[in-house]
Chains A and B, each alone.
Chain A
Amino acid sequence: MAQQESARVRAEEEPLLSVENLQTAFFTDKETIRAVDGVSFDIRRGETVGIVGESGSGKSVTARSIMGLVDSPGRVLDGSSIRFDGEELTDKTEEQYRGIRGGEIAMVFQDPLTSLNPVYTVGNQIKEALRLHQGLRGAAATEEAIELLEAVGIPDASRRVTEYPHEFSGGMRQRAVIAMALACDPELLICDEPTTALDVTIQAQILELLDELQEERGLAIMFITHDMGVIAEVSDRVNVMYAGEIVESAPVEELFENPRHPYTQGLLRSIPGNQPGSERLETIEGDVPTPNEPATYCRFEPRCPKAFEECTRVHPASVEVNTGVDAEDHSAACLLYPEDVSQAEAVELHEQRNSEREVSER
């Protein structure tokens, strides 16, 4: 119920982050990898948007593109737009980006050690962030650092603040990284598989912590994971990525109850816990492809049980799965949709969308 309400409110509110037609490619001697290929979505204040996908789906590159962390030979292509709080980020210089990164937007990675410097105490690293972003120094900074460590549930914080990262356990390190992120008082927290390296009881602690912090501070969270269980738990809205594209997008309950893209359907069915007792697991045959060329076909076609002829020559655009009155803000990039028109009409609609897009890109 709350969800329908929030869906309505959602449409009216200005997004905090708005990503449009994001394309990030890596250029090597041998090939071009179109890691993110035309991704669009947005995030509003206080909400958690999940991005789920398997390895190679482009979900992490999406996060790094938003943070301005794509290194050569990769780059964000022209025609991509990332707007944060109304401001375009794609034309920022590296220096301007540094102010945003770890300022209004903070990021938590899978491996906490990538964010922590082994030669400084955890306290000093948090204090550095406090100095840079809130102008705090000396005793005031120490006190705030201790308070942040307490806020992320690290006991004995006044002692811990003087310790080095290697003296922390994996779960405690991730808490320390979250404390550091909070030191910048961000509006958007991007979490890239933040619990994947952790044990399940520790994962539960971190998810609970993120939930509390979001409530207290009104944070918007972009949560990237491959784990459907985690996605179901944390997200308000979910985007499913496959081979560089978002193939389905819906409010979380709608997505799990009523998955429409054949890939999402297959993914949900291949989770072992989802079919206790069944003898064989359903599988998606084959592997995730590496997107090398612009898509003029459906990238899921070689593995899709519902594929038909047009799938090899028409690139599916993202369309509402229902166009009727009770459309649920639920879209899929598949030629089977919209569902309430004939297949030929649907295919025609996708072709039309593609040519519109080409025109606008010129």
Chain B
Amino acid sequence: MSEQVQQESVSVATGETLVEVNELKTYYDEGAILDSNPVKAVDGVNFEIKRGETLGLVGESGCGKTTLGRTLIQLESATSGEVLFDGTDVTELSGAELKNWRRNSQMVFQDPESSLNDRMTVGEIIREPLDVHDWNDPKERRARVRELLDVVGLQPEHYYRYPHQFSGGQRQRIGIARALALEPEFVVLDEPVSALDVSVQAQILNLLEDLQDEFGLTYLFIAHDLSVVRHICDRVAVMYLGNVMELGATEEIFQDPKNPYTHSLLSAIPEPDPTSDKERITLRGTPPSPRDPPKGCPFTTRCPMKIRPEKYQNVDPDLWVAIEVFREVLRERSRAEKTLTEQAKELLGMETRFSDIGEIRRELFGDLDVPREVEAHLDRAAEHVKNNEDAEARKVLRDEFGSICDAENPANHVVSDSGRISHCHRHLPEYTEPDEFTPYTER
């Protein structure tokens, strides 16, 4: 079955590159009054999109996938890096050039409830981009709108109705017709079916596939629902905290994920099969803030396969988890806002809600057998916390319990014959490959 899909996608894609993204970064600076850390929404990504293919962009909320999509079509400006369309760097375009180029790349938004102007008729909504770009004469524009209504499966009489008279699925059809009005080559689909019911979702997905075949469209399909992505995408990029963790042919990734994050993500999807005995890896905690991503690998704070220092290779798994959580708690505390009173208390050397370090140690290590050596390092860290030296405390723990995963951002390793890449140190020859490694949580 999977072979069939691949063959089919090859026949659609021509193998020619339409979009090339190099070292792209998009940072936001809002709220920079208090701290100068920008939100690193997209933090150095590289990939290509072939003409006629559908590239999926998946990841959890806050991973930067929507910002990346918006940056590609210049709804957001890049902080650095290049976005080449047919060789032209569009991050450099402005004025008339930019306006002209925009015709070529459009976006379909997630929420058909709010992305359509309820005071305009359906015809006006679809015609708007034609008006903005002064496309032909008004009569031809109206004819074009009728044609588009037909193309997306709506009726000619819908021209004069208002969006609120339509169901979610039909509204999404209107959004698609509008995006196609100027005959773009490239369409960013931002969660186009996630607000729809399953039975309606399928109709829209089929429509998108038909339109791609008919007009030779290239799609970037942004979604958090992996089963939808599996169905519609030729290749998929998995994002975490502004980085692409793995990128390759869809079926390859779904059947045999190489990156620890992809592995965890796929294992978390509940399958519509009550007899499924899929091994689930339940990740601890939540993704760190993109204002303050971890130093080394973006996934290091939650990775169930994180590389350990040589001498702690055989430490009891529960103890290791407790150490990791302890580090996470300190990270988390340094992020939690301190109120003015608390800052004052701290300056006066008084107790604050941040100083109950003994309590948290009891909570985490109370029931565990902690070897002397480990204990000594925990003591040193706790001492720093008591003196309000959080940064030093974290450094003590990182130096002792950290590994290459905490220190260096991994390179993109090629991990299959088809050129799949994975962003993980475990692909270095000296470590066990992620797919041969049993996650700590499973031991």
Contact = CB atoms under 8 A, between A and B. Distances in A.
Interface of A: 54-55, 150, 155-159, 162-163, 167, 169, 171-172, 199-205, 207-208, 226-233, 235, 252-253, 256-257, 266-268, 270-285, 287-288
A271 B272 contact: yes
A158 B274 CA distance: 38
B167 A287 contact: yes
B264 interface: yes
A199 B197 contact: no
B270 A227 contact: yes
Given A167-B336, A283-B202, A276 B231 contact: yes
Given A172-B286, A271-B227, A276 B199 contact: no
A204 B265 CA distance: 10
B271 A229 contact: yes
B98 interface: no
Contacts of B328: 155
Overall SS of chain B's interface: helix
Interface in B77-96: none
Contacts of A208: 282
Interface stretch (B41-49, B203-211, B372-380, B389-397): B203-211
A54 B273 contact: no
A128 to B, nearest CB: 20
Question: Which 7 pairs show the lowest CB-CB distances between chains A and B?
Answer: A273-B227, A277-B1, A229-B270, A272-B231, A199-B60, A54-B197, A281-B202
B428 interface: no
Given A276-B230, A285-B203, A158 B363 contact: yes
B257 interface: no
13 contacts: A155-B285, A163-B336, A201-B268, A202-B60, A205-B283, A228-B198, A268-B272, A272-B228, A273-B231, A276-B230, A276-B251, A276-B254, A283-B203
Contacts of A150: 363
Given A200-B60, A204-B280, A267-B199, A281 B231 contact: yes
Interface of B: 1-2, 4-5, 8, 60-61, 167-170, 197-203, 205-206, 209, 224, 226-228, 230-232, 251, 254, 264-265, 268-276, 280, 282-283, 285-286, 325, 328-329, 332-333, 336-337, 353-354, 356, 359-360, 363-364
Contacts of B254: 276
A271 B269 CA distance: 13
A156 B274 contact: no
A272 B337 CA distance: 43
Specify which of A158, A201, A231, A276 lies most central, judged by the most chain B CB atoms within 10 Å of its CB. Answer: A201
Contact of A232 (B273, B332, B353, B359): B273
Contacts, number: 159
B332 A271 contact: no
Given A158-B360, A200-B265, A281-B202, 7 more contacts: A155-B325, A158-B359, A158-B363, A229-B271, A256-B272, A273-B272, A283-B199
B60 to A, nearest CB: 4
Contacts of B230: 272-273, 276
Nearest to B58: A200
A154 B265 CA distance: 21
B273 A256 contact: yes
Specify which of B60, B168, B333 lies most central, judged by the most chain A CB atoms within 10 Å of its CB. Answer: B60
Specify which of B4, B200, B230 lies most central, judged by the most chain A CB atoms within 10 Å of its CB. Answer: B200
A229 B269 contact: yes
A229 B205 CA distance: 19
Contacts of A227: 270
A8 B146 CA distance: 60
Contacts of B203: 283, 285
Contact of A159 (B199, B231, B333): B333
A271 B201 CA distance: 9
A280 B206 contact: yes
A188 to B, nearest CB: 22
Contacts of B226: 200, 273
Contact of B329 (A156, A202, A253, A281): A156
A40 B241 CA distance: 46
Contacts of B202: 270, 272, 281-284
Contact of B286 (A167, A202, A256): A202
A203 to B, nearest CB: 7
Contacts of A204: 268, 270, 280, 282-283
A256 B274 contact: yes
Specify which of B168, B224, B272, B328 lies most central, judged by the most chain A CB atoms within 10 Å of its CB. Answer: B272
B297 to A, nearest CB: 16
Contacts of A284: 199, 202
B270 A207 contact: yes
B339 to A, nearest CB: 11
Given A204-B282, A204-B283, A283-B203, A232 B197 contact: no
A100 B168 CA distance: 37
Contacts of B197: 54-55, 226, 288
Nearest to B231: A272
A160 to B, nearest CB: 9
A16 B324 CA distance: 42
B236 to A, nearest CB: 13
A235 B206 CA distance: 31
Given A200-B60, A204-B268, A277-B2, A155 B273 contact: no
Contacts of A229: 227, 269-272
B283 A201 contact: yes
Contacts of B8: 279
A158 B366 CA distance: 15
A156 B360 contact: yes
Specify which of B209, B353, B354 lies most central, judged by the most chain A CB atoms within 10 Å of its CB. Answer: B353
Given A272-B205, A283-B203, A54 B198 contact: yes
Contact of A266 (B199, B272, B276): B199
A171 B283 CA distance: 12
Contacts of B337: 167
B199 A270 contact: yes
Contacts of B329: 155-156
Contacts of A276: 1-2, 5, 230-231, 251, 254
Contacts of A252: 274
A263 to B, nearest CB: 9
A277 B264 contact: no
A86 B140 CA distance: 70
B336 A157 contact: no
Contacts of B199: 54, 266-267, 270, 283-284, 288
B227 A277 contact: no
A231 B271 CA distance: 9
Nearest to A197: B61
Contacts of B275: 253, 256-257
Nearest to B276: A232
B198 A232 contact: no
Nearest to B227: A273
Nearest to A283: B202
Contacts of A287: 167, 169-170, 200
Given A276-B2, A281-B202, A159 B272 contact: no
Specify which of B168, B226, B271, B333 lies most central, judged by the most chain A CB atoms within 10 Å of its CB. Answer: B271
